Structure 1
Amino acid sequence: MYQLPIHQFLIIYISMEDPTKTNIEKPDTIKERFIRKIENEPNLKFIDALIEKFPDMKIYLVGGIVRDTLVGEHVKSKDYDFIICGVPHPELEKAMTGLGHWTYAGSNFGVYKFRPHDFTLKYDFDIALPRREQPHGTGKRADVDVQSDYTMKVEDDLGRRDLTINAMAWDIKNQKLVDPYHGQKDLKNKVVRSVGNPLERFTEDRSRMFRAIRFSCKFNFEIDLFTYEAIESFMPRVNETIVIQDEKTGKEKEVRITPMDTIRIEMFKALAANPAKAFRLLEKTGAWHEILPELDALRNKTTLWKRLQTTLELLTKENLSQELTEEYDLNISNHDETGDFIFAIILYHIKLALPEPPTTTTKKAARRADPIQQILERINLSRKEKDKATWLLTNIDTITTKLPDNLAEQEQLLDHQHTQDALTLALIIHQTDQQIDDHLQYENQKDAINRFATLFDDSGELPAPFLTGRDVMQALGLDKGGPIINELLQKLRHLQLAKEIKTKTEAIDWISSQ
């Protein structure tokens, strides 16, 4: 059994920033904030109807909506989760049928997905009766027996949750906070702490380690030492597997206890929230060693390792997009630094540290031999995430150092759904060079990047081509197309983007002269 250290209430400070304290909100201020939250959301009118039908019912807001409301109204929550005490399942289902549409989320979690009449939000409401969970001890999130009990107190339900800041409830009828694990105090002190013994929580569900890291990054909170030590001690087990029986075939198969999908989602959320801090936490807790061992090659390259650290620190700056837009001619103010984008930057540096993969005869064999593609498969990126990472890693060097002279060829790089990501990455690479070196690694990089800006019109879009292939054929009096048409269109497009040809009439005249 893990022994509670004397210094359990100390806090380990992983980030470089000094934590700042915030004042605990006065009770009446908190009350007013929750009242506004509920009264200003028209989709919550069903609450009054339920209270009228079940006068003895207790209904609570729980989870992230409570935490984020306490943090401040500037934090926008997407989900509304409720616990209802004192109403049996059949009666609650009958009442919800009259108020809207509901589905049962499954026996593993015992939650209703509820959508009231005239619902306008993106996500359904989650409504549950208080629950007890009995884990099977595998550490797999789905391996729990869930028992709903409408007679339970909400405090008992909160005890099964992961972190103290997520284990609070707002009593809607009595307008008061239910906080048995002192989550509000941890919010005030900017601490991420496990509910109860963290080793027990992580034994129940190992993905909770990554949730602790994610919330530390999201709010720039520090991780309680006891919780942090448990993460360190448990992280080497994150890749463990168990043998189960396939429900369809009846055959035994080996599966991960902690699904890689779950790890990836939590990891990407952490990287998006605070790239530098997320990387440090994943490094210090041993997570990278377990899920991305290819970083070992990068650690041995001191200069590249420093470049990556500097790049991630740049990405953590609040006004980075605005600063880059002011310094360069390109407007990237609408760029969204998602977790998969940050991960692609990490992969870019790993690629620079690894030797070139062996030459192969087929594309399929090349993918198998490519260590970056192996990472993308192992981390189980979605098709969209995989396509973005692959395109960025394939084209970023061209954008930063080998820009083609022909503007039509440049446009082919720009006319892509991930171009904004590539341009942002190019600017960040340039900024990193400025911070690390007195001289730029890519001497003409800034000029090359800014040349892209000349291709856009005043609206920030690429101008439409003046002529189509049919227009060219008509101007030349041809009945059939051929390679010459595409060649002329590309030359014409270059002249248009270079602003040497400015109208459709000029374009037709130029084609006719060829």
Structure 2
Amino acid sequence: MNYSFLCLLLATRCTNVQRVAICNLGGVRLCRVGYRCADSAVGLNEALWYYAPMDKAEKILHDWQHQALKTKALAFYQPLINRYPKAGVYLVGGMVRDLLLGRETKDFDFVITKVGEKALITFLKKYGRVNLVGKMFGVIKFTPPSIREDEAIDIALPRLDKPGKGTGAYRDVTIVRRATLSILDDLVRRDYTVNAIAWSLTEKKLIDPANGISDLKKKLLRTVGESAQRFQEDYSRLLRGLRFSVVLGFGFAPQTWTSLKSLTKKLNAKVDDEFVVPREVIARELLKTFLVDPVAALTMYDKSGALSVLIPEIEATKRCPQPRRFHTEGSVWKHTILALSALRSRAYRRWITEEPDAELVVTVLLHDLAKPTMLRTPSTNKVDRVRFDGHDVVGGKMARAIAERLKLASPAVASGLHVDPANLEWLIGHHLILLHARPSEMKLTTIERYFVSHPLAHKLKALLLADTLGIIPADGRSYTKHLVELEAVLKKLCSTRSHKLPSPLLGGEEIMAYLKIGSGPKVGFLKRKLREEQLLGSVKTKAAAKRFLKNLHGKTNL
């Protein structure tokens, strides 16, 4: 069938419901041109109608709606329309964008017009849980029984954002939310054009006042309206833009990119000794971005100037040389990029299959942060070669300070974004452990302490692997031999491939009771020696353990 503007005067026996059903099946829009009799009140069935083909974007969203309304999550929709026939229900924001890009998404985000806030809340409570945690921003978190709490649907009234003092702090923006505002009012106050697209479920049409679909096709991020003004309303939009660029693989429109770079210094701005952009917001955006693609994130943060503003300590790594005998890749900065890229490499996956969390990514990012500080060269310090003695311990302390400054621990642990400053310090402080001694030369209790029993044991091995894969040695051979050796020791040591060790034969309390001694350094010494013998396989039973202790106790003066 040729759908292009095929005008038909539909028979009066064909109802509007039937017309819509035909269009839904055919993937076309049903449009009304006008009435046959302009001077008389004719019925709707006597109007002149035509079929017009849907474009690709409309077809995608039309098909999505057809399927989505069958789900229990959107069971509230039809009763809402029945109760409030004049209501407008619009899918907005990132979900529209991601659907049009073919990206998987579950982040329902709706704007509902022409229904008062109190009436809307009362209605929604009949169909699920209503959480008003985002109510100050006009957002209702709605959780139908069929979905999890962390998949709550965002529902809001249309709103306007009126800039306040021009500080760049979102808290200074005056939010006006009213059921009588239009969807256009809501869309034009949004950050980027690709996020300012709406799909009307009630009218089955796209609303795109800022040409966001065009920018989606061009893979461009462009602000809605004048860029500098839009950023100055809320400086956190600078980091949101960097995140969208990394997540979507988009570039920036020239004016938007110029404004973004010129304003990144404002990320540390303060008003009345309080940060304009809360550090918790900084942490969330930075960690989300680096978790998606560490190298792309580092590149974007560096090019935009955000990196030097938020983590200025890392700038010196760009100019910090490394001994060419061990690091032909060049500077510490280049090594860091290679180590980050290793987290997504096949070589890394051969050793570790779990996806890295934000804590591991940040650890790799900052693991050599102290090399410029600890740099010693033959010409300046009369050493045999370029050295960074102690950069592991010093770097751990520096990383901890950065994590505390940026509040990287503020995201919830379950989010995968949480970064514990103490964990950073411990991991970076021990990232040279296999360079200080070969695994085959270590005490088995040391292997157990760092690579089995410690809660960060698995993450330490992941850090060592990424660090190793980020090195290009002069002879071209991989430095993974110390990791191979470690795995061999662990395999002999442990009863299963999950590196599960046998439980200690005797604990401290049992040792004190058997030898009739009080607590003190000797108990710890005896406990460690017994554990070493157990792991070596020399002592296998409690009876043998007691004989070993009795003999050692008599020879030890502590």
Structure 1 379/29 Cα, relative in aligned 2: closer, same or farther at 3 Å? Answer: closer
Q: Are residue 120 (structure 1) and residue 144 (structure 2) matched? A: no
Could you tell me whether the CA contact under 8 Å between 1:235 and 1:286 is conserved in 2?
A: yes
2:404 aligned partner: 377
Cα offset, 1:82, TM superposition: 1.4
Identify which of 146, 165, 183 aligns with 1:154: 183
1:458 aligned partner: 496
1:32 aligned partner: 63
- Could you say what secondary structure the match of 2:283 adopts? helix
2:366 aligned partner: 347
1:167 aligned partner: 196
Could you tell me whether the CA contact under 8 Å between 1:213 and 1:270 is conserved in 2?
A: yes
Could you tell me whether the CA contact under 8 Å between 1:62 and 1:83 is conserved in 2?
A: yes
Identical aligned residues as a percent: 27
Could you tell me whether the CA contact under 8 Å between 1:108 and 1:142 is conserved in 2?
A: no
Q: Which amino acid aligns with 1:66?
A: V
Q: Are residue 323 (structure 1) and residue 347 (structure 2) matched? A: yes
- Could you say what secondary structure the match of 1:87 adopts? coil
Q: Are residue 210 (structure 1) and residue 245 (structure 2) matched? A: no
2:356 aligned partner: 336
Cα offset, 1:53, TM superposition: 1.5
Could you tell me whether the CA contact under 8 Å between 1:100 and 1:115 is conserved in 2?
A: yes
Alignment of 1:122-201 (within 5 A): 122-136=150-164, 137-201=166-230
- Could you say what secondary structure the match of 2:168 adopts? coil
| Greater radius of gyration (CA) | 2
Cα deviation 1:460-504 (Å, max 9, x = unaligned): 142231523279649x95455755554454344435545x369x5
Higher relative contact order (CA 8 A, sep 6+): 1
Alignment of 1:424-503 (within 5 A): 424-433=462-471, 435=472, 437-438=474-475, 445-451=482-488, 453-454=490-491, 455-469=493-507, 473=511, 477-479=514-516, 486-498=524-536, 500=537
Alignment of 1:25-104 (within 5 A): 25=56, 27-40=58-71, 42-73=72-103, 75-77=104-106, 79-104=107-132
Distance, in Å, in 2 between the alignment partners of 1:397 and 1:115 is 48
1:278 aligned partner: 297
Structure 1 440/511 Cα, relative in aligned 2: closer, same or farther at 3 Å? Answer: farther
Cα offset, 1:431, TM superposition: 1.2
Q: Which amino acid aligns with 1:460?
A: S
Alignment of 1:166-315 (within 5 A): 166-243=195-272, 254-303=273-322, 306-313=331-338, 315=340
TM-score w.r.t. length of structure 2: 0.73
Cα offset, 1:258, TM superposition: 1.7
Cα deviation 1:376-404 (Å, max 9, x = unaligned): 33222327521221121111111454356
Q: Which moved more, 1:441-450 or 1:420-429?
A: 441-450
- Could you say what secondary structure the match of 1:232 adopts? helix
TM-score w.r.t. length of structure 1: 0.79
Distance, in Å, in 1 between the alignment partners of 2:227 and 2:244 is 15
Distance, in Å, in 2 between the alignment partners of 1:227 and 1:187 is 15
Q: Which amino acid aligns with 1:467?
A: L
The root-mean-square deviation of aligned C-alpha atoms, in Å, is 3.3
2:423 aligned partner: 388
Structure 1 118/106 Cα, relative in aligned 2: closer, same or farther at 3 Å? Answer: closer
Could you tell me whether the CA contact under 8 Å between 2:495 and 2:502 is conserved in 1?
A: no
2:7 aligned partner: none
Aligned length: 458
Cα offset, 1:188, TM superposition: 3.0
Distance, in Å, in 1 between the alignment partners of 2:134 and 2:98 is 27
Cα deviation 1:187-243 (Å, max 9, x = unaligned): 333222222221111010111111111111112222222211111111222222212
Q: Which amino acid aligns with 1:186?
A: D
Distance, in Å, in 2 between the alignment partners of 1:202 and 1:211 is 10
Cα offset, 1:119, TM superposition: 4.9
Could you tell me whether the CA contact under 8 Å between 2:60 and 2:99 is conserved in 1?
A: no
Could you tell me whether the CA contact under 8 Å between 1:159 and 1:195 is conserved in 2?
A: yes
- Could you say what secondary structure the match of 1:333 adopts? coil
Structure 1 314/68 Cα, relative in aligned 2: closer, same or farther at 3 Å? Answer: farther
2:554 aligned partner: none
Cα offset, 1:138, TM superposition: 1.3
Cα deviation 1:417-465 (Å, max 9, x = unaligned): 32222211101111122x3533679695334543464244435142231
Distance, in Å, in 1 between the alignment partners of 2:533 and 2:204 is 68
Could you tell me whether the CA contact under 8 Å between 2:363 and 2:463 is conserved in 1?
A: no
- Could you say what secondary structure the match of 1:122 adopts? helix
- Could you say what secondary structure the match of 2:470 adopts? helix
Structure 1 473/258 Cα, relative in aligned 2: closer, same or farther at 3 Å? Answer: closer
Q: Which moved more, 1:448-457 or 1:156-165?
A: 448-457
Q: Are residue 417 (structure 1) and residue 452 (structure 2) matched? A: no
Distance, in Å, in 2 between the alignment partners of 1:180 and 1:440 is 57
Structure 1 186/265 Cα, relative in aligned 2: closer, same or farther at 3 Å? Answer: same
Could you tell me whether the CA contact under 8 Å between 1:276 and 1:309 is conserved in 2?
A: no
- Could you say what secondary structure the match of 1:185 adopts? helix
Could you tell me whether the CA contact under 8 Å between 1:107 and 1:146 is conserved in 2?
A: no
